């Protein structure tokens, strides 16, 4: 039977698998007439507990809450991804009916029959982590700037209670629910908060978020979590020899900023991990002007920076035992009389020279300085993340993030973290022939291949890797995944926060 927790909720959420729905064991958890209603939905083919299927049924006083929400787990219920997705769909269905306080009953198969020994407890924690993450992510709504009087009332997720019986815990070899789930629920909350934050930051209009306001937000967030933050202004950028960031930013009335945030969670002898994120707050393409159609999406060109600032919520809340150096080069890429031009040769912070063939390939230029700065600040391994290329859409559409690395071990770690996070990442090859495409006749390297439609994502990433040298390095191209024109599956319209959870799993080893 359903516990008293439901009396404090607007709705009871039942997560069901097709197998559980078929054998009707779930019916023991409901009053007979409600169970019959669910059975009727099944018989009419309206609800088969498939992943993404939801139904909302009024309880008519038969339960102490207003509604019953059914959310299907699908056939792959043993995987954490299904639990995360079912959580997202359940919350969307509930909020669509104005239901803000939910009691979520875990399915009878929460501890899979395939789980054995200590593995059963580990997998149960992973599923509950994913479910909690999904429940929180499902409540995301893009901010609106419409006048308050023009906006309809918006429901928001206020409270969620998870219901799990002692028999399920015992089957997985677990003790109390509090003891079992305290850590995974804390991690899920931090991961979801970080992702929602990155989405909000990515969705900010370009007239609201400029390099200086991004730097101010970074400093505010770092201070909140007790981390150090250094911001270099346009004069200091020139003094430090950051010719790439200076070149890209000098065409705008909003000058560039170089942001560096330090987290020290381990002793001084421990390796420093470097994270570098592209912070182009708006990208017109510069002199190599983009087509006007769809240019409004370029508010998302700081998606890499949004991911790294979102990660501060994870690091600050969970405090993993590691040392982290975050670097965010930020600029606007605008066409003006002072903008850099195709044919220019610029000198980077590393001392290398770059021939500019395309000013719309500006992200890799600022990231070159960002990577070198991270090395100068002590980073021994580097991951950079950027909405780098449109070419990644040709390879993967808006489904997967592209990756390229100079180190197989680091690549394996990130790919494994992506699997845990349920985010799709696919590696590109790193062959000498692709490096050759970036050779310049007049500089150390050029910022685009002459035939830049050929292997554009690969050569764009390898340009950044050039400045990492022999240090283990990996690049994530979220040019297709950081922003969606329409809601798809569990992902929202607009900024998605793609790769927040992957990097969070990697850093926190959760």
Stretch 78-86: mean pLDDT: 92
Stretch 178-185: mean pLDDT: 90
- Residues, the chain: 510
Stretch 396-425: mean pLDDT: 98
**Active site (catalytic) residues:** 290, 364
Q: Please report how many Cα atoms fall inside a 13 Å half-sphere around the Cα of residue 443, on the Cβ side.
A: 18
pLDDT at 22 (0 to 100): 83
Alpha-carbon distances, residue 174 vs 108, 122, 179 (angstroms) = 15, 10, 8
- Dihedral over Cα of 416, 419, 423, 429: its sign: positive
Stretch 192-214: mean pLDDT: 98
Residue 57 has pLDDT above 60, yes or no: yes
pLDDT at 5 (0 to 100): 58
Residue 4 has pLDDT above 70, yes or no: no
% residues pLDDT > 90 (the chain): 81
Residue of 142, 42, 49, 35 whose CA lies nearest to 90: 49
362 is in an annotated binding site: yes
CATH fold of the domain at 197-508: Aminopeptidase (3.40.630)
Q: Where in the chain is the domain with CATH 3.40.220.10?
A: 4-145+156-166
Residue 394 has pLDDT above 50, yes or no: yes
Banded model confidence at residue 1, pLDDT cuts 50, 70, 90: very low
Q: How far apart are CA 101 and CA 6, in angstroms?
A: 9
Q: How far apart are CA 220 and CA 32, in angstroms?
A: 55
Average pLDDT, the chain: 93
444 is in an annotated binding site: no
User: Where is average pLDDT lowest: 119-128, 265-274, 284-293?
Assistant: 119-128
Residues 18-54 pLDDT 10s = 888 887 666 667 888 999 999 999 999 999 999 999 9
Residues 221-248 pLDDT 10s = 999 999 999 999 999 999 999 999 999 9
pLDDT at 110 (0 to 100): 62
Could you tell me whether strands 279-283 and 272-277 are parallel, antiparallel, or unpaired per DSSP bridges?
unpaired
User: Where is average pLDDT lowest: 38-47, 104-113, 156-165, 205-214?
Assistant: 104-113
For residues 150 and 455, the model is more confident at 455
Stretch 478-492: mean pLDDT: 95
% residues pLDDT > 70 (the chain): 94
Stretch 59-68: mean pLDDT: 93
pLDDT at 378 (0 to 100): 98
What CATH number should be reported for the domain whose range is 4-145+156-166? 3.40.220.10
Can you spell out the DSSP letters for 34-81? HHHHHHHHHHTTS----TT-EEEEE-TTSSSSSEEEEEE--S-TTSHH
Residues facing 14 on adjacent strands: 70, 105
Residue 171 has pLDDT above 80, yes or no: no
Banded model confidence at residue 164, pLDDT cuts 50, 70, 90: confident
Stretch 179-199: mean pLDDT: 95
301 is in an annotated binding site: yes
Stretch 459-469: mean pLDDT: 98
Cα angle, residue 454 at apex, residues 450 and 457 outer, rounded to 5°: 105
360 is in an annotated binding site: yes
Q: How far apart are CA 70 and CA 314, in angstroms?
A: 31
Q: Which residues of 158-170 are buried (b: 16+ CB within 10 A; e: fewer)?
A: eebbbbbeeebbe
Instruction: Look at residue 422 and give its three-state secondary structure.
Output: coil
User: Where is average pLDDT lowest: 31-40, 276-285, 386-395?
Assistant: 31-40
380 is in an annotated binding site: no
Alpha-carbon distances, residue 446 vs 93, 177, 221, 277, 462 (angstroms) = 50, 57, 36, 21, 11
Q: Where in the chain is the domain with CATH 3.40.630.10?
A: 197-508
Banded model confidence at residue 389, pLDDT cuts 50, 70, 90: very high
CB 371 within 8 Å of CB 382: yes
Banded model confidence at residue 107, pLDDT cuts 50, 70, 90: confident
Residue of 506, 260, 461, 465 whose CA lies nearest to 376: 260
Q: How far apart are CA 21 and CA 38, in angstroms?
A: 9
Stretch 251-278: mean pLDDT: 97
Sheet of strand 353-355: strand arrangement: 345-347, 353-355, 445-446
pLDDT at 7 (0 to 100): 67
């Amino acid at each position: 039977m359903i516990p008293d927790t439901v009396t404090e909720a607007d709705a009871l959420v039942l997560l069901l698998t097709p197998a559980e729905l078929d054998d009707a064991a779930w019916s023991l958890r409901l009053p007979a007439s409600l169970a019959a209603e669910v059975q009727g939905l099944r018989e009419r083919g309206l609800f088969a507990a498939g992943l993404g299927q939801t139904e909302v049924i009024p309880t008519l006083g038969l339960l102490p809450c207003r509604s019953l929400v059914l959310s299907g787990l699908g056939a792959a219920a043993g995987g954490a991804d299904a639990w995360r997705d079912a959580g997202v769909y359940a919350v969307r269905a509930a909020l669509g009916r104005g239901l803000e306080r939910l009691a979520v009953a875990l399915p009878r198969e929460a501890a899979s029959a395939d789980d054995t020994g200590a593995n059963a407890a580990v997998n149960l924690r992973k599923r509950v982590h994913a479910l909690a993450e999904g429940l929180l992510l499902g409540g995301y709504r893009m901010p609106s700037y419409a006048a308050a009087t023009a906006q309809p009332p918006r429901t928001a997720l206020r409270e969620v209670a998870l219901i799990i019986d002692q028999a399920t815990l015992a089957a997985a070899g677990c003790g109390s629910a509090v003891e079992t789930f305290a850590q995974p629920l804390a991690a899920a909350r931090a991961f979801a908060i970080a992702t929602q934050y990155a989405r909000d930051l990515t969705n900010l209009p370009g007239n609201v978020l400029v390099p200086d306001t991004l730097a101010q937000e970074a400093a505010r967030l770092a201070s909140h979590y007790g981390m150090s933050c250094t911001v270099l202004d346009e004069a200091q950028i020139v003094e430090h020899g950051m010719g790439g960031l200076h070149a890209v930013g000098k065409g705008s009335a909003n000058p560039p900023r170089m942001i560096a945030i330090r987290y020290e969670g381990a002793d001084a002898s421990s390796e420093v991990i470097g994270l570098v994120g592209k912070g182009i707050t708006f990208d017109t393409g510069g002199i190599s002007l983009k087509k006007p159609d769809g240019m409004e999406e370029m508010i998302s060109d700081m998606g890499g920076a949004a991911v790294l600032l979102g990660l501060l919520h994870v690091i600050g809340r969970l405090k993993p035992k590691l040392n982290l150096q975050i670097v965010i080069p930020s600029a606007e890429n605008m066409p003006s009389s002072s903008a850099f031009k195709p044919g220019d040769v610029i000198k980077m912070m590393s001392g290398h020279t770059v021939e500019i063939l395309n000013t719309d390939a500006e992200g890799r230029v600022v990231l070159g300085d960002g990577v070198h700065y991270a090395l100068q600040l002590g980073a021994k391994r580097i991951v950079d993340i950027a909405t780098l290329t449109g070419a990644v859409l040709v390879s993967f559409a808006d489904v997967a993030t592209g990756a390229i690395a100079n180190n197989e071990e680091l690549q394996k770690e990130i790919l494994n973290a992506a699997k845990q996070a349920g985010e799709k990442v696919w590696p590109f090859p790193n062959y000498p022939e692709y490096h050759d495409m970036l050779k310049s006749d007049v500089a150390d390297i050029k910022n685009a291949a002459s035939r830049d439609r050929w292997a554009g994502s690969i050569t764009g990433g390898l340009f950044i890797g050039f400045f990492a040298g022999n240090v283990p390095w990996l690049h994530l191209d979220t040019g297709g995944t950081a922003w969606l024109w329409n809601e798809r599956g569990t992902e929202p319209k607009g900024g998605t926060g793609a790769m927040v959870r992957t990097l969070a799993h990697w850093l926190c080893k959760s």
